Each structure stands twice: as C-alpha cells, then as structure tokens.
C-alpha cells in the first residue's frame, strides 16, 4: 500500500470519497510521522493528536453519509499565528505563554467547516518577524533539505518555516501560513513547496496575531499548485469581523490549474536583475521565461522603477505598525507577567523577558520612525513611496500584462546560525528583496519550485498577479510546475 502521507490533497480527497482509505487511517499515518520526526525537525510546537483523531472519525461519518465538505478528512498543520479555540496559540513568543484563546480565527474555522483535520500548531518566527525561523522561542526549525554531501542544518525560511518544512517533510497534507513581506513565498522557495500570498483582503485577518496590519495576509503552503488552489478556495472569505476583507466572489481556483496560458502577456521587470545575483538564480529565471514562451505566452520587458526603494520602505512601514500592534502585550490581561514594584516596572520587566531580540529590534525601529520629529522624515515619506510602488504595478497592468515573472529569493537556503546573517540584520532582510513589493502593493504572488542549485538545494520562481486575480497565478504557476517537475528532499531525519 502507498504510504498515506505521500498523497497530495487532491489524491487523498479522491481516495477518501471512494472509500479506498479512511480519514482515521490517513490522520494516524501523519500522527506517527510527526512522532518520528518532530524531535529532529522541530516543526510542531503543539501536536493535537487526540483532537485530530476525533475530527477524522467525524469526517469518516460525514463521508459515509454523503455529506463530505471540500476538505473532508484532510489533515492540516496550522501556523501558530492563527487562533485555535482552547488550543495553544502563542505566535512562538514567550510573552503569549500559556495563551489558549476562547475563539477561532476565521481562516481556520473555514477549514474546519469544510471538514479539515487539525494535526497541531506549527513553529514560526516570533510574531512572524524573520526570514529564517531562527527567532522562535521554541528554537529553529530544520529544513528537510540538505546540500549534497553535507550534513549541515539549513533554515526553512521564515516566518512560516514550520509550515513549509512540515509540508516538505510530509508531516501534514498542507498548512496555513501568513505573508507580511514574503513569509509564505520565501520559505516555499527554500523547501520546494508551493506558497501563495493572496491579494490583501482575500482572506480574513480575524484571529491572526497581528504583525503589520496593512501588510499581513493569510495563505496556504502546499505540495503542488493544485493543492494550493484547493486550500485557498476554503481559506478565502469575506468576514464581518475584518472590515478589510473583500466582499468579492471567490472563483473556482482549482479549475484554473492546467488551463492554457496561450496569448498571456508575462512581464519581466528589469529592476529585479540585482547586482551580485547568483548564476543559478539568473539561469532559473531564464528557464522560466522560456517555459512561458513555449507555452504560448508573450514575454514583455517591463520597468518597475520604484522597486529599488521597496525594501527600505518596507522596513519603515512594517516595524511602525508592529510597534503599535505589540503595545497591547503588557502582562496585564493574558500571557506572561513578570512582577514589578509598580505597574510601569511590571510592563518593562514583562516585555524585556517576553519579547525576543528581533522583535525588540523592530519595536525600537518602529517607535523611532513614528516619534515626534521623525514621523514626517521616515514614516510619512515611506507611505508616499509605497504609493509610488503600487502605481508602478498599476501602470504595468494597464499595459495589458497578465502576470509578472521574477525569482522568489536571491539565494537557496542558508545554514542555521549563519555568522554573516547573525552579524548584520540587513543581510537577513535582503532575503525579502524580491517579495516585499507584492505586500506593499497588496497584490497576489505565488512561489513555485523551479529547479535545484549546484549543491542540490531547491530554488523557486515567483509570479505576481493583478489584484484578486489568483486564478492567473495558478494557471501560469502550473506551467512552471509541469516543466520543472517536482522535488523531494532525501530523508535523513
């Protein structure tokens, strides 16, 4: 019998409906896989095995009664950023120690309403601040991939490193993730998985622990493009609890997979050819261009002139919003509390003990750029530049461009504890150089595995789409997937 954890969501869905397998058997296979691997990979920070088996049994009953939902019986992992009722929700931060919400995030509730099964909560960078998953209070996640001939542990990307590693290591059928500046697409590229950041407003933010409210967006990480489409179909919704969620029809995303892209115009932005780009990345990008051309798309050179300011702008806007959002964590109502001689002393001690170094760094940056005397020079100016970045995309799409093809990351996965990254935070921030523009403009973007570098590590390509046109991304992303093939790490854990 085929290893049940090797089934994609689409394959498992078919076998569940036909009665060839049961959700209880499928879920049990994942629980056993997690028990065997989690101590090594550190992807789950809470495993809800008993709850998962109960949910699976309920799914089997609904399937037998002909009442199966769109994700009936499919076991998923949930990023620790999403509130799950009466289950550990900590955003991998000490300051939320012991927090078990009395409510469910809208995204996870949508999944449960469609019959999905929760395996547990996935590791992440604290408060989603990071590009390597080394900032978690639970320690770093290990990438299931290793370079050829090396046993050195690599990062899985961040902040959704637990989600990407769990999917790559077959420790869940799919996972929820979130993307503020690339936190879905970068870890997907590092682990040979598919990750889509939908248009801002496509998925509700209710019940997501906030980082930067004008940039945060939920999305899935999956094994292939079809599975990503299936997951987003269930995750997306309008929500009265989130006034920024869009009241727009949700298309049948899965039907776009495999559709011809003949006649599409694919834009290639000159500004993404950065100095010092590795030859592997440049060659991969060129391969992607040829795949699009061979599939009947027209390749068009385009310009996004304000791209050069995007990273600096992002690292003003995002920390500013973070400093505001994280002010609520004071030790008074929930989570960690460190006693002090008075309430101010208690605030200071709680935050000093509860926040990690990267979170403190971003709070300090954000507080500074919002402070009197500096707000106009930094934050207000950054918002103006953000408008120009958004206008660049609007101008390109007005030319008839259907999607934009770029690299997903400037390199493959790097080692855990990389000294250069640790010594210079800006080097770490540069991992987001190809992804932050999408969040600044509120656009959808997908990362699809496209090849391996010289040391056998996965690399991804990114497609950027028009607002609320995720269908085109699934359509074009499948072309990359069909041409590049699929990639799996060699098991060592």
In angstroms, the CA 77 to CA 66 distance is 25
What would the mean pLDDT of 249-270 be, rounded to a whole number?
97
How many domains are contained in the chain? 1
* Rounded CA separation 177/188 (Å): 10
Residues 6+ apart with CB under 8 A from 470: 196, 198, 199, 202, 232, 251, 253, 444, 446
- Active site positions, annotated: 79, 159, 183
pLDDT at 1 exceeding the cut of 60: no
Of 185, 243, 175, 239, nearest in space to 214 by CA: 243
If you average pLDDT over residues 91-104, what whole number do you get?
96
The answer to whether the CB of 112 falls within 8 A of the CB of 104 is yes
Residue 428 Cα distances to 210, 253, 357, 436, angstroms: 21, 34, 14, 13
**Structural domain boundaries, residue 74:** 1-493
DSSP at 89: -
CA distances from 218 to 105, 164, 451 (A): 11, 14, 26
Q: What was the pLDDT predicted at 430?
A: 84
Pair of tokens at residue 358: 């990267």
CA atoms of 348 and 384, how far apart (whole Å)? 34
pLDDT at 365 over 60: yes
How does pLDDT run across 268-319, given as a tens digit for each residue? Answer: 999 999 888 889 999 999 999 999 999 999 999 999 999 999 999 999 999 9
Ramachandran angles phi, psi of 66, nearest 5°: 75, 25
The confidence score (pLDDT) of residue 333 equals 86
Please report, rounded to a whole number, the percentage of residues in the chain having pLDDT higher than 90: 95
Please tell me the distance from the alpha carbon of residue 10 to that of residue 446, in angstroms, as a whole number.
19
Sign of the torsion formed by the C-alpha atoms of 221, 118, 60 and 115: negative
Rounded CA separation 252/71 (Å): 14
Strands 265-269 and 403-407, sheet pairing:
parallel
User: What is the C-alpha separation between 156 and 144, in angstroms, rounded?
Assistant: 8
Q: Is there a contact between 364 and 354 (Cβ–Cβ < 8 Å)?
A: no
- The answer to whether the pTM exceeds 0.85 is yes
Q: How confident is the model at residue 182 (pLDDT cuts 50, 70, 90)?
A: very high
The per-residue pLDDT of the chain, averaged, comes to: 96
**Token duo for residue 400:** 């008839």
Q: Which two tokens stand for residue 200?
A: 């801002």
Q: Is 299 exposed, middle or buried (0-12, 13-18, 19+ CB in 10 A)?
A: middle
Instruction: Give the mean model confidence (pLDDT) for residues 241-246.
Output: 97
> Helix, strand, or coil here: 481?
helix
Residue that is written with structure tokens 């949700």 in the block: 250
Averaged pLDDT for residues 442-450 = 98
Residue 426 pLDDT more than 90? no
3-state secondary structure of 404: strand
Q: Model confidence at 425, in pLDDT bands (50, 70, 90)? A: confident
* pLDDT tier for residue 2 given thresholds of 50, 70 and 90: low
Can you give the CATH number for the domain in which 100 is found? 3.90.1300.10
Q: What is the pLDDT of residues 383-417, one digit of tens each?
A: 999 999 999 999 999 999 999 999 999 999 999 99
> What does the pLDDT look like over 114-141, one tens digit per residue?
999 999 999 999 999 999 999 999 999 9
H helix runs in 297-416, sequence order = 310-325, 343-354, 357-370, 381-398
Ordered strands of the 174-179 beta sheet = 44-47, 117-122, 75-79, 174-179, 217-222, 194-197, 445-452, 458-465, 403-407, 265-269, 298-302
Sign of CA dihedral 209, 212, 214, 218: negative
């Amino acid at each position: 019998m085929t290893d049940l954890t090797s089934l994609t969501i689409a394959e498992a869905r078919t076998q569940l409906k036909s009665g060839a397998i049961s959700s209880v058997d499928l879920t049990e296979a994942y629980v056993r896989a997690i028990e065997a691997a989690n101590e090594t990979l550190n992807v789950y920070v809470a495993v809800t095995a008993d709850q998962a088996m109960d949910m699976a049994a309920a799914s089997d009953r609904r399937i037998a009664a002909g009442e199966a939902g769109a994700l009936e019986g499919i076991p998923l992992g949930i990023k620790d950023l999403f509130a799950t009722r009466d289950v550990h929700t900590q955003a991998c931060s000490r300051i939320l120690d012991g927090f078990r919400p009395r409510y469910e995030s809208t995204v996870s509730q949508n999944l449960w309403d469609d019959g999905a099964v929760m395996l547990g909560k996935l590791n992440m960078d604290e408060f989603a601040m990071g590009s390597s998953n080394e900032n978690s209070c639970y320690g770093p996640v290990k990438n299931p991939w290793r370079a050829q001939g090396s046993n050195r542990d690599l990062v899985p990307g961040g902040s959704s490193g637990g989600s990407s590693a769990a999917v790559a290591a077959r420790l869940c059928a799919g996972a929820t993730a979130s993307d503020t500046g690339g936190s879905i697409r970068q870890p997907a590229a590092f682990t040979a998985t598919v990750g889509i950041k939908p248009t801002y407003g496509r998925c509700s933010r209710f019940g997501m622990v906030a980082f930067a409210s004008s940039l945060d967006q939920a999305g899935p990480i999956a094994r292939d493009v079809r599975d990503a489409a299936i997951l987003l179909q269930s995750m997306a919704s309008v929500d009265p609890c989130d006034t920024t969620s869009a009241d727009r029809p949700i298309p049948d995303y899965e039907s776009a997979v495999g559709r011809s892209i003949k006649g599409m115009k694919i834009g290639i932005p000159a500004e993404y050819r950065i100095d010092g780009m590795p030859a592997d990345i440049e060659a991969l990008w060129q391969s992607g261009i040829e795949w699009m051309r061979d599939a009947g798309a027209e390749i068009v050179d385009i310009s996004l002139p304000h791209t050069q300011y995007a990273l600096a702008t992002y690292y003003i806007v995002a920390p500013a919003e973070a400093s505001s959002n994280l002010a609520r964590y004071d030790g008074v109502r929930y989570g960690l509390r460190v006693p002090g001689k008075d309430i101010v002393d208690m605030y200071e001690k709680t935050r000093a003990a509860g926040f990690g170094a990267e979170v403190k760094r971003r709070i300090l940056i954000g507080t500074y750029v919002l402070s009197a005397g500096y707000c106009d020079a930094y934050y207000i100016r950054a918002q103006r530049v953000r408008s120009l970045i958004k206008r660049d995309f609007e101008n390109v799409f007005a030319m008839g461009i259907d999607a934009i093809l770029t690299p997903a990351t400037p390199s493959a996965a790097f080692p855990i504890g990389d000294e250069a990254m640790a010594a210079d935070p800006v080097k770490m921030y540069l991992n987001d150089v190809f992804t932050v523009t999408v969040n600044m403009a509120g656009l959808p973007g997908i990362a699809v595995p496209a090849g391996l570098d010289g040391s056998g590590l996965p690399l991804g390509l990114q497609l950027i789409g028009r607002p609320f046109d995720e269908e085109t991304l699934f359509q074009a992303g499948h072309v990359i997937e069909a041409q590049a093939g699929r990639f799996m790490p060699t098991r060592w854990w």
